[in-house]
Amino acid sequence: MTEPQITLYRLQACPYCERVVRTLNRFGLEYQSRYVEPMHSERNVVKRVSGARSVPAIVDRKTGVTMSESANIVEYLEGTYGEGGA
């Protein structure tokens, strides 16, 4: 199994996370979902990776980018993988 380049830290049924998933699917990007708990205090892994406990957060190993906040992530994906992107 080839590991996808993008890891998405997400919370089940989180609308901001689903928004990012929709964008990933729009660009046909492979990603690995890592689910965390609703309680912020239970999300140390996300804090270690991104500096904040909020989800969604993505790690894109292709570009070396780690990012949280769905609006930022969508903008990043559109800029990087959308029309006119790299």
Task: Enumerate binding residues for other proteins (CB under 8 A).
Answer: 1, 9, 32-37, 42, 44-45
Q: What radius of gyration do the chain's Cα atoms show?
A: 12
Own/partner pairs, 12-17, CB within 8 angstroms, 24+ separation? 14/55, 14/56, 16/55, 16/56, 16/70, 17/55, 17/56, 17/70
Least separation in angstroms between residue 38's CB and other proteins is 9
**In angstroms, what is the minimal distance from the CB of 48 to other proteins?**
9
**12 vs 63, which CB is nearer to other proteins?**
12
Cβ closer to other proteins: 25 or 79? 25
